[in-house]
Amino acid sequence: MKHLFAIAMSVCMLLPSLAWSESTTHVDKAKSSTTTWLAITDSLEYASSWEQTAELFQKAVPKQNWQSQLEKTRLPLGAVKSREFKVAETARVLPGVPEGQYVVLQYETQFEKSPKMIETVTSTLDGDGTWKVVGYYIKQAK
């Protein structure tokens, strides 16, 4: 009985570290894919940035709408001067999207013609097993 209890306790003690490890891996992969996606967006390749988004995003936002929205919001800001990663959070449930695996990343970004901005990029584990952007939001930093 003592051995069974010891085994059960060992397993219980390992579960949080396994969950943390999975979460860390998800954040690392999502962050890597987001960095690539932001570089495409920064180079004004808006159609290509849409093509690199998750299927869920593509179904919700037509390519033309995405291009025109980025032209209205990003072009006036000018080129990116600096971007600093701030925080990442994992989630299974977010408003307005089906339950899934999500990582919400925030960056503090300085553009050429604007005050500091906060970019929030949400990535999801897409149907093809890769992390892809499913949301992008930009606002002035406080």
Quick one: how far is CA 80 from the chain centroid? 18
CATH code for the structural domain at 2-140:
3.10.450.100
pLDDT in tens, 74-112: 999 999 999 999 999 999 999 888 999 999 999 999 999
Domain ranges of the chain: 2-140
Structure tokens, 95 = 């408003």
Q: SS3 for 70? A: helix
Residue 54 is predicted with a pLDDT of 96
Residue 96 is predicted with a pLDDT of 86
**Type of residue found at 127:** G
Buried b (16+ CB within 10 A) or exposed e, 120-135: ebbbbbbeeeebbbbb
Q: Could you give the C-alpha distances from 72 to 44, 67, 75, 100, 111, in angstroms and in order?
A: 12, 9, 6, 30, 15
**Rounded average pLDDT per 10-residue block, the chain, 142 residues:** 35 38 80 97 96 95 96 95 96 91 97 96 94 96 89
